Amino acid sequence: MQVNKKWVQNIIYLAIWTGFLAFPFISFYGNRDTNFAPERRIQVLFFITNLFLIGFYYLHSLVLIPRLLATRKVGIYVTVILLLLVFFAVLPVLYFQFVKLPAPRFIQNIRPLPAPGEHRPFTFRRVFPFPFSGSLVLFLLILVISGGIKIINEWFRTERRNQEIEREKASTELALLKSQVNPHFLFNTLNNIYSLAVTNNPETAGAVMKLSSIMRYILDDAKSNYVPLDKEILFLENYIALQSVRLTDKATVKFLKDTESNDKQIAPLLLIAFVENAFKYGVSTHLHSEIDIELGEKEGKLHFRVKNNIMNTQGNMTNTGIGLNNTKRRLELLYPGKHSLQIKNDGSIFEVILMIELI
């Protein structure tokens, strides 16, 4: 039986914090010094301080680092840390005022440094006049530990995601080539080109060039992690043009594009699954059908929309081409937090709306 790593981590944290909270009651058990402050009062103060330190640990790792430091709001981050530092410095004073008891004698009258030649035994309290210095030391320790753990976790998470992207790329590269250059597509395209050639259609040469451009893009450009956006658009245009050759007058295909710049890049073969899906399930030879494709780029964001009638309900629509599920996974890996995908299916209309923040 495989143990859930999250549960193990939570149990470890629970054990650590339980020991951290129990430490005051263990370390100050019994009267050790008649001049020492009442131990129960010190225990409670230790307990309260540790409780606040635990809260600070999670505040720092879950809020301050990701929302301030990671977003480069360094000034606000430093200000909050300094305010918390002051809070932990004055916490013992506030505590003793709250309980309406005088501060312990070793805090009221800290012994001066020994005179020349005078020997005094070393004591920890003389170096760190608890609880003032001790609470600050613990605060700084928690600050370093929580920040270090957060940074290490983020580093491991980034490494895992990069490794997963590499594995995904390696495992899907052959599938991408096979799915896009599938025999069915090539067979239909070559048949269409043959029909054009037999009838001496002037569009024959253009169809051959489009097929050549598609093959060159898939075999050469698609091997890169990212390609220029205009090359991906040209690939879609050629694909739509070749697919449209076989359509009857019952089918209408519209492709509208509006791009603002030519220096943006996109992962190759990322949009074709949605277009291929539209042609496979949205075309009829005897009923009127429409395929609307819109592509726009503005201020570094790509807006892509494919809408078609559902004319062919046989087969699994989510496994077309490289598959909609595979495309979703690629989007999650390549554009985490930088894309939105909506898929609508009411039984008669299938619509895909995709937004990507381009690089």
Contact by Cβ (8 Å): 231, 221: yes
CB 49 within 8 A of CB 91: yes
- pLDDT, averaged per 10 consecutive residues of the chain (359 residues), comes to 66 81 66 51 79 87 84 87 85 73 48 52 43 68 84 81 74 53 68 86 90 88 86 93 86 90 85 88 86 92 94 55 73 88 91 93
**Can you give the pLDDT at residue 11?**
84
| pLDDT confidence of residue 153 | 81
For the chain, give percent helix, strand, coil, nearest 5: 60, 15, 30
- pLDDT for 213 equals 92
**Predicted local distance difference test score (pLDDT) of residue 130:** 42
**Per-residue pLDDT at 229:** 93
What are 175's two structure tokens?
């599938």
Q: If you classify domain 181-357 with CATH, what class do you get? A: alpha beta
| Of residues 3, 126, 13, the one with CA closest to residue 62 | 13
pLDDT at 2: 45
Residues of each domain in the chain carrying CATH 3.30.565.10:
181-357
DSSP character string of 211-249: HHHHHHHHHTGGGSS-EEHHHHHHHHHHHHHHHHHT--T
pLDDT the model gives residue 101: 56
pLDDT value at residue 326: 77
